[in-house]
A = this chain, B = another copy of it.
């Protein structure tokens, strides 16, 4: 297994969200190149209510021209910890705040071309504390039990990878 080293990194585009680079690299078999997206990272939240439901959000995703059912999530802002991101996005997207917020893992979403790392938070002891209506994101929320969410994964109704991954971690934690 080769480690690939950077010889030269060319910035192709620097935007609001993404940075695209084209890097010349060295491998044991010679020079090659890699197209890489640099991403600020994100937090995803599993909001778990006192009656064992999980709060999902439904929103339009422009990149795939479709509505998706997802766990609440959002980008880490400058000088923000991923725990603070989780608390902020939970409130912006669902109106809830969590007294207990536990980091249960992390994963890379697309390591073949992108460095996005998502931190997974379990949010418990929730209280409804919505933002003023001009600040919220007007996203539809849906409360589903884990068993039903699992059925929707099998049925192809939940098709977002960060959501399916985070629910796997949560299922494994509940079993332990």
Contacts and interface: CB of A to CB of B under 8 A. Distances in A.
A4 B117 CA distance: 26
Interface residues of A, number: 66
A15 interface: yes
Interface stretch (A55-63, A85-93, A121-129): A55-63
A62 B7 CA distance: 12
Identical subunits present: 2
B140 A154 contact: no
A7 to B, nearest CB: 12
Given A22-B15, A37-B63, A113-B17, A154 B138 contact: no
Interface in A84-139: 105-118, 138-139
Contacts of A15: 22, 35
Interface in A1-43: 1-4, 12-13, 15-18, 20, 22-23, 25, 33-37, 39, 42
Contacts of A60: 1-4
A76 B144 CA distance: 34
B164 A64 contact: no
A77 interface: no
22 contacts: A12-B12, A12-B13, A18-B20, A36-B63, A37-B63, A63-B110, A63-B111, A64-B111, A68-B111, A70-B111, A105-B154, A105-B156, A107-B159, A107-B161, A109-B110, A110-B116, A110-B162, A114-B114, A154-B172, A161-B162, A164-B164, A164-B168
